[in-house]
Amino acid sequence: MAKQNQSSSSAIHLSGIDLTAIVIWILPVLYLIYVFPALPESVPMHFDAKGRADDFGSKSNHLLIMIGLAVFNILIYLLVRNVNRLDPKAINSLSTKTYRNLALAILIFLSAIHLIITHSTAQGELSLDKALLALMGFFFAYLGWIMKEIQPNYFIGIRTPWTLEDRENWKATHSMGSRYFFWGGLFIALAAFILGRPAGLIVCISALLVITLIPLTYSYLFFRKKRNEQ
């Protein structure tokens, strides 16, 4: 009986997480439905570094893009949410809680992008770009926070030919990479608030390249060192 009650509690908890995900996912969709009738027939489709619209298209095309983004958002959530069932390398080795929380974090990030794109289109200029860069920074900081908990798999993490073939390489690369992702993410968030455009965008993208390229390089050097020692 106790075991049955524990299973029921776990099911309710999982359903609560999924319900939260549905609410987060549907908010930008509802906002798009709200602003769409008021959009002009020609809407901004691209913005330059200063936030000014430099390319336009029909609002029907914009609607299709946003629908595609919404579908992509929920598919990514479902993929990460169920990666322990889909990935043959990860079965029975992943923390369900870790990947459930990661799936929700990704959904929040992508839904925020969806909201900002729709808002910028309605305003006719790129707005809330500082918020987007800051959100990206916090997202990478969160990835750094949980990175050490991610076990080898084919979908999530620093996936290189060397980390996927060597568990020791995976562990060392993620241990090192977690520090760069965490502190680099916080730096991006701080720079986004302090610097204006286009300097803020340049600094943030540069920092993003650094925190992603260094772990990749480290993974390869770890592989070379280990091979030479054999």
* pLDDT tens by residue, 49-93: 666 666 677 788 888 888 898 999 999 998 888 877 776 665 555
Which is more confidently placed, 54 or 209?
209
Residue of 144, 135, 155 whose CA lies nearest to 212: 144
Same domain, 108 and 168: no
The contacts of residue 47 (CB under 8 Å, 6+ apart) are 53, 54, 120, 125, 126
165 neighbors 142 (Cβ within 8 angstroms): no
C-alpha separations of 172 from 155, 163, 167 in Å: 18, 9, 9
Highest averaged pLDDT of the listed ranges 14-18, 33-37, 180-184, 225-229: 180-184
Task: Return the structure tokens found at 204.
Answer: 């943030």
| Within a domain: 1 | no
Neighbours of 196 (CB within 10 A): 10
Q: Please tell me the pTM assigned to this model.
A: 0.76
Task: Return the structure tokens found at 169.
Answer: 């390489």
Same domain, 109 and 139: no
Last residue of a domain, one of 126, 145, 171: 126
| Within a domain: 3 | no
Instruction: Quote the domain boundaries for residue 145.
Output: 128-230
Last residue of a domain, one of 126, 160, 195: 126
For 92-137, what is each residue's pLDDT tens digit? 555 677 778 888 999 999 999 888 888 888 877 666 677 888 888 9
For 150-184, what is each residue's pLDDT tens digit? 888 888 889 899 998 899 999 999 999 999 999 99
Our count of domains for the chain comes to 2
Burial class (CB in 10 A: 0-12, 13-18, 19+), 32: buried
